Chains A and B, each alone.
Chain A
Amino acid sequence: MKNFFRIFSLAILGILTQACNNSDNSQGKKSGALASNVAERVYVAPGEHDEFYAFLSGGYSGNLLVYGLPSGRMFKEIPVFSQFPTNGYGYSEETTPMLNTSHGFIPWGDAHHPDISQTNGETDGRWVFINENNTPRIARISLETFETEEIIEIPHSAGNHSSSFVTENTEYVVAGTRFSVPYPQKDMPIEEMKGNFKGPLTFIAVDDKGGMSIDFQLKMPGFNYDLSHPGRGDSHGWFFFTTYNTEEAHTMQEVNASQNDKDFIAAVNWKKIQEYVKNGGGKEIDAEYAHNVFDHKTHNATSTMKKKVLTVDPREVEGAVFFMPTPKSPHGCDVDPSGEYIIGNGKLSTDLTVHSFSKMIKAIENEDFEGEAYDIPILSFESTLGGTVKEGGLGPLHTEFDGKGNAYTTFFISSEVVKWKLGTWEVLDRQPAYYSVGHNMIPGGNSRKPDGKYMISMNKITKDRYLPTGPELEHSAQLYDISGDKMELLLDFPTHGEPHYAAAIRADKVKPNSRKIYRLDENEHKYAATSEDETKMVREGNEVHVYMTTVRSHFSPDNLEGIKVGDKVYFHVTNLEQDFDVPHGFAMIGANTSELLIMPGQTKTITWEPKREGIWPFYCTDFCSALHQEMQGYVRVSSKNAKVPLKWTLDGE
């Protein structure tokens, strides 16, 4: 009996100890002082908020992902260039125009380089821009609604890769061409590429409300314009683009585009060209491109097809464009916070080439040219060279800055991040990345004022970093603490799609502006029912429009009759809630489309073409309340020739 009692007490003690540990995880696993210290630095306690918002490109998912740093927690996937059945983006009547292009509706895109809008060279938290590489487009995402508000197609371009970077007052967002093409497009033999293809660089003006319009397109030689960054500080007014394939090879580029020892960084004085264009310079040519805008008042997107674009021949604007020779097919083109140094990350090299802006200006004044490419002056290599980072690693790709005089470069082949000093070019530290790092990102690391506390690396290969999930793995990112002399790896976290780049900002610049609801009294949707007595059904031939409302926990109407086989039914659903985080869903059995997820005060529409007679249910897909399971309704579908009148009721009324 005594033994029994003792065992019983021990058992209880065990249970209690376990129960306690659950609520006290921070002190749970201690595998040494260092490990616990690292854990604390990325630990954001339940209910507390991260210090930074990070926006990671979703790569071939076409979307933008919102993360918190330092926790590495994902908060949201924002659909941009791809259909998103989760909330109906690209399926609902209101949002399908967002994915319209000159090629028609395209359900997918390849998102690449997010960049946050800037004011005076600092990230300002208004918008994120992101480029689509495959069918060239630039999107603007609002950081008030965290929704895609605008997409503009880039005509005459292909492989829209050296985008979507913004100038220091968001005067322009740029879009460069990575696959040179005939300009404008025409039928011609591929082997006649050399000299006949072009690589247009497009400058898109951004107005005070974010509205984008193409100001001009710079008709550059047919090289591959790979990446770019704006000048800042003294170099504000310039934009820098790396090029490769200056060989202009059209086949087996893997070998043929790597013949020249040096390609170029193109320095573009956009202020000069802006002036030139303002004074009537440039030539308007035919083009066809879609401009899609979402309006939060009508809750509708419109797509407008544009027919003209202004093209500028760089040779006609004196002193506007120069080439700086840069070794080994440079990839990343990064500008330090002062604007003095332009880093060419020669991806087939071990070294980094750093150009000096002030030297470049002197070389231009002194006409220190070593030749011309298609009549564009090539500055002599020595004249602009600010320094070389020697033996940094293998295959440098991208560089970011901490605002304390240091730069951080990723090396793809040797799979590491390397810290070096601006000015002395000495390597200070190196840390492995797991594995094959592409981009890295420091919050504000592409601005005048970086927050040099954390850096993330976005790695192309995942292998064994997580529990295996079959042959296909999500890419991996790593968080480093860069506040000390040495970088410290703190955390691994999985990403979605392939994050080509990211941009991050202090949470306090964004958080207070985040929208909670859409106001019902501002809802100008043509088919909105903003109260239950506005609900109705209207027949126009074989189209039936249902003006429906949702509120916890019913649809109005919830019994619909008079629909016939062969009808096309438009469900226009308005969410009458006005409280934060109370969306309702709408799903219709057999509808050949997605669900709708409707935010408070919003109206969204999907269509349904019933094929069989019967009584067909619909329901709310988002667990909204204790009575969510009751949130459902029925549609009666009669035969084609039936005489059943339209009838819509809720609770018999």
Chain B
Amino acid sequence: MKNVIKSVVLFATLLILSSCGNSEKKDNIRLEDYNESSQQTEKQDTDKAPSSEKEETSTEDALSNKGIGPVKNLELPEGINSDMASSGADVFKKLCSACHKMDKKFVGPQLAGVTERRSPEWIMNMILNPTEMIKKDPIAKKLLIESNMAVMANQGLSEEETRSILEYFRQYDQEN
């Protein structure tokens, strides 16, 4: 009898546990995700020589990461569209420069050389879809930690404006 009661209790406990589990949200952010990636970063840092930006993955891996967002595949022409680049510089100044500088780390990472470190799609998705990117994208998650949890703000830019900022970055990187 005692055993029966005990197994009933256990069975009930299991039932409740499983029903509780169903209500758990899948896309919750977990702090440990961030901690893991930051620990990894630290480990690798001790191995590597210090660089201007901490890289968890190799540059090739990073360049193949297109990020998460509306821009799936972007073919870039060889040359620079200088009109587009200058309008991109204007948008950048107005809506991004409060946190980003080209030549130094400010609130967010230094942007010089960004087109050599990241795919064009990743750059645009980071601007267009920052909230999801810092939750899910491995590089964006790591950068959030490095930026002291200062989140990348969604400045409500259009795809066209974002593309022009990318052109500005390309021009900057070619010229510097």
Measuring CB to CB, which residues of chain A are less than 8 angstroms from any residue of chain B? 2, 5-6, 9-10, 12-13, 16-17, 19-20, 23-24, 517, 520-521, 530-533, 549, 551-554, 556, 576-579, 582, 625-627, 651
B156 beta carbon closer than 8 Å to chain A:
yes
Task: Select B95's contact among A6, A520, A651, beta carbons within 8 Å.
Answer: A520
Residue of B nearest to A16 (CB): B16
Cα(A556)–Cα(B101), bound, Å: 14
Which of the segments B17-25, B58-66, B73-81, B163-171 contacts the partner chain? B17-25
B150 beta carbon closer than 8 Å to chain A:
yes
Cα(A553)–Cα(B148), bound, Å: 11
Contact between A532 and B97, CB atoms less than 8 A apart: yes
Interchain nearest-CB distance for B39 vs A (Å): 19
Task: Select B150's contact among A23, A24, A532, A553, beta carbons within 8 Å.
Answer: A553
Cβ contacts B86-122/A at 8 Å (1 or 0 each): 0000000111011100000011000000000000000
Task: Select B20's contact among A16, A551, A552, beta carbons within 8 Å.
Answer: A16
Contact between B150 and A626, CB atoms less than 8 A apart: yes
Contact between A9 and B10, CB atoms less than 8 A apart: yes
Task: Select A517's contact among B13, B17, B106, B156, beta carbons within 8 Å.
Answer: B156
Residues of chain B within 8 A (CB-CB) of A23 are 20, 23
Contact between A533 and B97, CB atoms less than 8 A apart: yes
Q: A16-B13, A549-B98 are in contact. List 16 more A-B contacts (CB 8 A).
A: A12-B13, A13-B12, A16-B20, A20-B19, A20-B20, A517-B156, A521-B94, A530-B94, A551-B99, A551-B153, A552-B99, A552-B151, A556-B98, A576-B98, A579-B153, A626-B151
B29 beta carbon closer than 8 Å to chain A:
no
Residues of chain B within 8 A (CB-CB) of A530 are 94
Interchain nearest-CB distance for A292 vs B (Å): 30
Cα(A471)–Cα(B79), bound, Å: 76
Residue of A nearest to B94 (CB): A531
Residues of chain A within 8 A (CB-CB) of B151 are 552, 625-626
Cα(A531)–Cα(B156), bound, Å: 15
B174 beta carbon closer than 8 Å to chain A:
no
Contact between B150 and A6, CB atoms less than 8 A apart: no
* Interface residue tally on B, bucketed by range: 20 to 34
B49 beta carbon closer than 8 Å to chain A:
no
Cα(A17)–Cα(B17), bound, Å: 9
Cα(A605)–Cα(B37), bound, Å: 43
Residues of chain A within 8 A (CB-CB) of B157 are 578
Interchain nearest-CB distance for A577 vs B (Å): 6
Task: Select A13's contact among B2, B13, B19, B156, beta carbons within 8 Å.
Answer: B13
Residues of chain A within 8 A (CB-CB) of B5 are 6
Cα(A236)–Cα(B95), bound, Å: 51
Residues of chain B within 8 A (CB-CB) of A521 are 94
Residues of chain B within 8 A (CB-CB) of A627 are 148-150
B48 beta carbon closer than 8 Å to chain A:
no
Interchain nearest-CB distance for B155 vs A (Å): 4
The prevalent SS among residues of A at the interface is mixed
Cα(A467)–Cα(B106), bound, Å: 52
Measuring CB to CB, which residues of chain B are less than 8 angstroms from any residue of chain A? 2, 5-6, 9-10, 12-13, 16-17, 19-20, 23, 93-95, 97-99, 106-107, 148-151, 153-157
Residues of chain A within 8 A (CB-CB) of B95 are 520, 531, 576, 578
Interchain nearest-CB distance for B69 vs A (Å): 15
Cα(A13)–Cα(B9), bound, Å: 8
Interchain nearest-CB distance for A649 vs B (Å): 14
Cα(A490)–Cα(B67), bound, Å: 49
Residue of B nearest to A19 (CB): B20
Contact between B156 and A579, CB atoms less than 8 A apart: yes
Residue of B nearest to A517 (CB): B156
Cα(A396)–Cα(B19), bound, Å: 54
Task: Select B98's contact among A6, A551, A625, beta carbons within 8 Å.
Answer: A551
Residues of chain B within 8 A (CB-CB) of A520 are 94-95
Cα(A12)–Cα(B6), bound, Å: 13
Selected A-B contacts with CB under 8 Å, 5 pairs: A9-B6, A13-B12, A552-B153, A554-B107, A625-B150
Residues of chain B within 8 A (CB-CB) of A10 are 9
Residues of chain A within 8 A (CB-CB) of B2 are 2, 6
Interchain nearest-CB distance for A301 vs B (Å): 26
Interchain nearest-CB distance for A551 vs B (Å): 4
Cα(A576)–Cα(B5), bound, Å: 64
Interchain nearest-CB distance for A13 vs B (Å): 5
Cα(A625)–Cα(B153), bound, Å: 10
Cα(A533)–Cα(B92), bound, Å: 12
Cα(A268)–Cα(B81), bound, Å: 68
Cα(A530)–Cα(B157), bound, Å: 15
Interchain nearest-CB distance for A443 vs B (Å): 33
Q: Which of A12, A576, A625 has the most CB of B within 10 A?
A: A576
Cα(A23)–Cα(B25), bound, Å: 12
Cα(A420)–Cα(B75), bound, Å: 71
Given contacts A20-B16, A521-B94, A531-B93, contact A5 B150 (CB under 8 A): no
Interchain nearest-CB distance for A25 vs B (Å): 12
Cα(A532)–Cα(B23), bound, Å: 45
Interchain nearest-CB distance for B131 vs A (Å): 8
Cα(A19)–Cα(B24), bound, Å: 12
Cα(A627)–Cα(B99), bound, Å: 13
Cα(A627)–Cα(B108), bound, Å: 13
Cα(A3)–Cα(B36), bound, Å: 42
Given contacts A17-B16, A551-B99, contact A533 B93 (CB under 8 A): yes
Cα(A17)–Cα(B6), bound, Å: 17
Residues of chain B within 8 A (CB-CB) of A556 are 98
Residue of A nearest to B91 (CB): A521
Interchain nearest-CB distance for A154 vs B (Å): 41
Name the 5 nearest CB pairs between A and B, nearest first.
A626-B149, A578-B156, A551-B98, A579-B154, A578-B155
Contact between A532 and B98, CB atoms less than 8 A apart: yes
Task: Select B155's contact among A12, A20, A533, A577, beta carbons within 8 Å.
Answer: A577
